[in-house]
Amino acid sequence: PGEPGEVAWGRRGGGALGGRGLTPLAVASGAVAWATWAVLLMPGFRRVPLRLQVPYQPSGPQQVANALALLRGRAGKTGDLGSGDGRLVVEAYKQGLRPAVGYELNPWLLCLSNYRAWKAGYRGKVSFLKKDLWKVNLSDCYNVIVFLAPSVKPPLAAKLLAELPDEARVVAGRFPFPSWTPTSTLGQGLEQVWAYDMKEVRRTAQSSAEGSPV
């Protein structure tokens, strides 16, 4: 005690941080977090209804690896809906899924995505578009990556059913589509991903509709 440079936690005077000192510190930290959200993340959500907003959460390395493993060997355009920082799109292109396109509204995340593509040597080879995924026509996509919150899965399922070709495959990360039966799955826990082949999804939906009582 009393040594030079000692941090006096809980002692009175001399810049100690007691209960009264921690309270304004916590408030300041909360203000910084809110400011970061407002400046960096909120711009992408302003035009999207509240129930369809999805907070940014980067995918882990194993999640990325599992998602792309379920698309291995496929051809055709690959689209990442809500592409965030672009890591899934860049990795998809690296593994031969071309063209690879990310749809993202947040301008800061688009800048980060383009930097990631440049750093990987794929500048001009992958595309990141500032578009609302709900307004994008997906009829030319044969591989779709969806790392989104559970709340958007039901309305998104209707959009995908209406627009995707029969040959398309949808890979969902973190949360499955609740009303669809996956063709295959990989990983466990937070790393689990699910693959859905649209032809099978439509066949199941049609069978259920035909078997429902009128």
- pTM of the predicted model as reported, rounded to 2 decimal places: 0.74
Domains in the chain and their CATH numbers?
59-210 (3.40.50.150)
Mean pLDDT taken over the chain: 82
79: which strand partners?
Answer: 101, 144
Structure tokens belonging to residue 54: 């999805």
Specify the amino acid at residue 93: Y
pLDDT per residue as tens digits for the range 128-147: 999 999 999 999 999 999 99
DSSP count for the chain of H helices, then E strands? 6, 7
Of 20 and 103, the one with more pLDDT? 103
pLDDT per residue as tens digits for the range 46-81: 444 444 455 677 889 999 999 999 999 999 999 999
Question: What region does 43 belong to: left with phi over 0, alpha with psi -120 to 50, or beta?
Answer: alpha
Whether the upstream peptide bond of residue 99 has omega within 30° of 0, thus cis, is: yes
The CB-side HSE value for 127 (13 A sphere, CA atoms) comes to 13
pLDDT for the residue 65:
97
- The terminus-to-terminus CA distance of the chain in angstroms comes to 82
Q: Specify the DSSP element, H or E, that contains 144.
A: strand 141-146
